[in-house]
Amino acid sequence: MKVAELFVKCLEEEGVQYVFGVPGEENIDLMDAFYDSSIDFIVTRHETSAAFMAGAYGRLTGKPGVCLATLGPGATNLLTGVANANMDHCPLVAITGQAGLNRHHKISHQHYDLISMYKPVTKWNAQIKKGEITPEVIRKAFQLAGQEKWGATHIDLPEDIAEMEIDATPLQPIERPHTEASSQVIQEAAHLIDQAKHPIILAGNGITRQNAREELNHLVEETQIPVVHSFMGKGALSWKDNLSLLTAGIGGQDYITCGFTGADLIITIGFDMAEYPPKNWNPEGKTSILHMDTEEAETDEYYPVAQNVLGDLKINLSKLQQFLSKSDRNNDWVMDVRNQALDELKQYKEDSSFPVKPQKIIADLRSVLNEQDIAISDVGAHKMWMARMYHTYETNTCLISNGLASMGVAVPSAIATKMVHPDRNVVAVCGDGSFQMTGAELETAKRLNLPIIVLMWRDEGYGLIEWHQNKKFNRASYIKFGNPDYELLAKSYGFEVMTIEKTEDLKRSLEKAVTLNKPVFIDCPVDYSENMKLTEKLGEIIC
């Protein structure tokens, strides 16, 4: 058989369901091998979208998502989505076609050194230069992508290698080992917690990756330690729990930041440094850190680690509870902070001003979606509002990219999310800036008959950049753009379209959208004058 056929058989052995991508000349042997495979190849409208889809699939399933592109511009387009998955710690395997080995020594049509190009944005990558190494390369790519901390790997397949005849068989996947901290380390960590008068937990992305939510909840119940969530740790503790201090991550002061100000020990659990810079929540670098994760912490002067507890979070959290004393901590201040944050959302539930305020959009969205429904935020001003005010009951029900934080991630991710969870409502929350970057994937959603909902916040500009410009310079520059007729555009892709013309329409439209079982596009004008009002309000908070 050809190397390309062996390659696909190796993917099947890894349990791959889908490959997202765009075919090209240099990967036609692979494309032909997929034709007779059990794997569904999902044709996307852009390679970046393919990687976004694979990243979302990996994040939700824990199994590496797979994306494919040809060489040259296909590979460079794919790169952004691969980098996004790697920094967000989503398991992903990227495959690129490549020029034949006989062209690598000279300047050649569409040829770049993709191994060098992808090296900074992956955990590992390799080119298949001999057909017989194909099973080893693929096994290693999946093994490393799925190891903690999850991330992206990359395989480059030259076209002349792909068409070679080979006699080899796939390697079987092996179960990943679980590591745990020693009892001595766990006891020392328990002593730190018992000695602390005002400890606080910062719950990060790792709790979701390692499915350690139940263990965290047991720990909180026993110790009565309040929990702050990073953008990507949302839902580790339900927002309804009285010890949930909701979500932190906006730069500068906020109600939630006050929890860090009064803490004498910060317990970070599954926290990834790229999520939320320690300088923002430990500005003097004086509060000690108990670091619980699979890897030692990144060196940072604002992250003074008193103790590392490394290994599987489920195991270590369970062991930790055995050594902790029963707590009688006074947490009255937690309810004060919670009430201030939650009241901010409540006061906008009945707001009828138009265009619609961000707080009102979120209040209506939260009231319509069920506990397990999934909202996916794109990157822009709406992301800051969603992260701060869209409260969650469970992990992976509000997907926010906060590592690379690439615009355009929401619609492709919603497609993959609906493929993984067809029984849940899935809403892509976009700005009109981020939507246009991957909006062509509406066709993909319609072709696959996926009833996703796209909720677009329209302000005719790059609202987040305008927000930052106004904060720093008290004026904005070069952030406005024109828009198409979104009703005609979305209809041309086969979507049901709802245009919000008064605020009262929004909740009714969302309620209708979740009952239609078809792709729906909601065009909602947003009042981003609330951005600077929020900045002023946060500036007045004194902890």
Q: What is the pLDDT of residue 539?
A: 62
Q: What is the mean pLDDT of residues 340-360?
A: 89
Question: Using one digit for the tens of pLDDT, what is the confidence trace for 287-332?
Answer: 999 999 999 988 999 999 999 999 999 999 999 999 998 777 778 8
Q: How many CB atoms lie within 10 A of CB 326?
A: 8
Cα 210–Cα 178–Cα 298 angle in degrees, nearest 5: 65
The domains spanning 183-336 and 347-539 adopt the same CATH topology: yes
Q: What is the pLDDT of residue 370?
A: 97
Q: What is the pLDDT of residue 309?
A: 96
pTM, two decimals, is: 0.95
Least confident of 105-119, 327-341, 449-463: 327-341
Pick the CATH number of 183-336 from 3.40.50.1220, 3.40.50.10540, 3.40.50.10330, 3.40.605.10: 3.40.50.1220
Determine which helix (DSSP H) or strand (DSSP E) holds 199, and give its type and residue range: strand 199-203
Answer whether residue 392 shows pLDDT above 60. yes
Q: What CATH number does the domain located at 3-162 have?
A: 3.40.50.970
Q: What is the pLDDT of residue 335?
A: 86
Residue 325 contacts by C-beta under 8 Å, 6 or more apart in sequence?
194
Give residue limits of the domains in the chain.
Answer: 3-162, 183-336, 347-539
Pick the CATH number of 347-539 from 3.40.50.300, 3.40.50.2000, 3.40.50.970, 3.40.50.720: 3.40.50.970
Give Cα separations from 58 to 10, 67, 266, 517 (angstroms). 18, 11, 30, 25
Establish whether the linkage from the previous residue to 149 is cis, with ω within 30° of 0: yes
Q: What is the mean pLDDT of residues 397-406?
A: 93
Determine which helix (DSSP H) or strand (DSSP E) holds 144, and give its type and residue range: helix 134-146
Distance from C-alpha of 58 to C-alpha of 435, rounded to nearest angstrom: 22
Q: How many CB atoms lie within 10 A of CB 222?
A: 14
Return the SS3 of 180.
coil
Distance from C-alpha of 206 to C-alpha of 413, rounded to nearest angstrom: 20
